[in-house]
Amino acid sequence: MLFSTFVIHAEDILDVEVHPSSLGDMFKGKIKLIWWVLKLDWSDLCEHVRLHRKSGLFKYLRFTPDNPVNFVAACQSIRPKS
């Protein structure tokens, strides 16, 4: 299961946002550490998606889709309205 598709249901998404590269902030000490973050690629090096979900071992995910802005817009459009 190492190289498989990772599925998150729309009802499970609490928050999703585009975040710029964190590399510069890391060296300046401006990073707020969340210890249980799953980074699915080299998301600190470029603009990436930060996703917070309700369930699962890792509730905070960081990853870099082809177009982070469009990905976040699509996620927000399918999330159930509160």
Buried b (16+ CB within 10 A) or exposed e, 41-70: eebbeeebbbbebeeeeebbbbbbbeebee
Total residue length of the chain: 82
Give, for all 82 residues of the chain, the pLDDT tens digit: 566 777 899 999 999 999 887 665 555 555 555 555 667 777 767 888 999 999 988 888 888 899 999 999 999 999 877 6
Break the chain into its structural domains and give their ranges. Answer: 12-78
